[in-house]
Amino acid sequence: MIDGMHCSSCEILIERTALRVKGILSVASSYATSTAKIVYDPDRIDETELPQALSLAGYRARLRTDDRPDNDNRQSLLRLLTGVGLTLLVMMLYLAFFYPTNLGLVELQELAPVGWLAFYAAPRAMFVLSTILVFYVGAPILRGAWIGLRVGVLNMDNLLAIAILAAYGYSVGQLLTGSLDLYFDVASVIVAVVTTGRYFEQGEKTRAIRELTQIIDAWSPTARVRKDNELLTESVDDIEPGDRIVIREGESIPVDGTVITGQAAINESLMTGEPFPVTRGPGGKVLGGTVIIEGSLEIEVGPAVESQIDNLARILWNVQSSAAGAQGLADRIARIFVPVVLILAAFVTGWAFLGGSQPAAALSAGLATLIVSCPCTFGLAIPLTTAVAVSTALRHGLFITSANTFLKSPRIDIVAIDKTGTLSRGEMTVVKVLGPPEIAEYAAAVECLSPHPIAEAIARLTSQRIATDLDTHPGKGAIATVDNRRVAVGSKSLFAMLGWDIPGRLTDLADAARPDDSVVSYVGWDGCAHGAIITRDQHRPGWAQAVDRLRKNYRIVLLTGAEHPCGYEERVDEVYAGVPPAAKAAVIRQLQREGTVVMIGDGSNDAPALAEADLGIAFGAPTALAADAADVVIPGERLERIFDAFELINVTRRRVRQNIGWALLYNAIAIPLAVTGLLNPLFAALAMASSSLLVVWNSSRRIGSADWISPPVEIPRTGHPLLRSRSPT
Q: List the catalytic residues.
A: 418
Cα of first residue to Cα of last residue in the chain, in angstroms, is 30
Q: Which of 392, 321, 371, 22 is nearest to 162 (CA)?
A: 371
* CA distances (Å), origin 564, targets 415, 475, 591, 671, 679: 19, 20, 21, 64, 71
Tell me the C-alpha distance between 26 and 13, whole Å. Answer: 14
Residue 596's SS3 state is coil
**Residue 52 class from Cβ within 10 Å (0-12 exposed, 13-18 middle, 19+ buried)?**
exposed
**Residue 35 class from Cβ within 10 Å (0-12 exposed, 13-18 middle, 19+ buried)?**
buried
- The answer to whether residues 516 and 276 touch, using CB atoms and an 8 Å cutoff, is no
Ramachandran class of 23: left when φ > 0, alpha when ψ lies in -120 to 50, beta otherwise: left
Tell me the C-alpha distance between 278 and 474, whole Å. Answer: 9
Q: Which of 208, 293, 216 is nearest to 32 (CA)?
A: 208
Within 10 A of 712 (CB to CB), how many other CB atoms are there?
10
* Helix or strand holding residue 717 (H, E): none
Tell me the C-alpha distance between 552 and 432, whole Å. Answer: 34
Planar angle of CA 344, 350, 354, nearest 5 degrees? 145
DSSP string, 197-215: HHHHHHHHHHHHHHHHHHH
Tell me the C-alpha distance between 501 and 530, whole Å. Answer: 9
**Residue 488 class from Cβ within 10 Å (0-12 exposed, 13-18 middle, 19+ buried)?**
buried
Planar angle of CA 168, 173, 177, nearest 5 degrees? 145
Tell me the C-alpha distance between 35 and 73, whole Å. Answer: 19
* CA distances (Å), origin 60, targets 13, 46, 175, 512: 14, 18, 40, 65
* Helix or strand holding residue 725 (H, E): none
Tell me the C-alpha distance between 605 and 625, whole Å. Answer: 9
Q: Which of 243, 616, 142 is nearest to 405 (CA)?
A: 616
What phi and psi values does residue 228 have, to the nearest 5 degrees? Answer: 55, 45
- Residues in the chain, how many? 729
Residue 175's SS3 state is helix
Within 10 A of 325 (CB to CB), how many other CB atoms are there?
21
- The answer to whether residues 522 and 529 touch, using CB atoms and an 8 Å cutoff, is yes
**Residue 10 class from Cβ within 10 Å (0-12 exposed, 13-18 middle, 19+ buried)?**
buried
* Helix or strand holding residue 280 (H, E): strand 278-280
Dihedral of alpha carbons 418, 422, 426, 428, sign? negative
For residue 473, list its beta bridge partners.
477
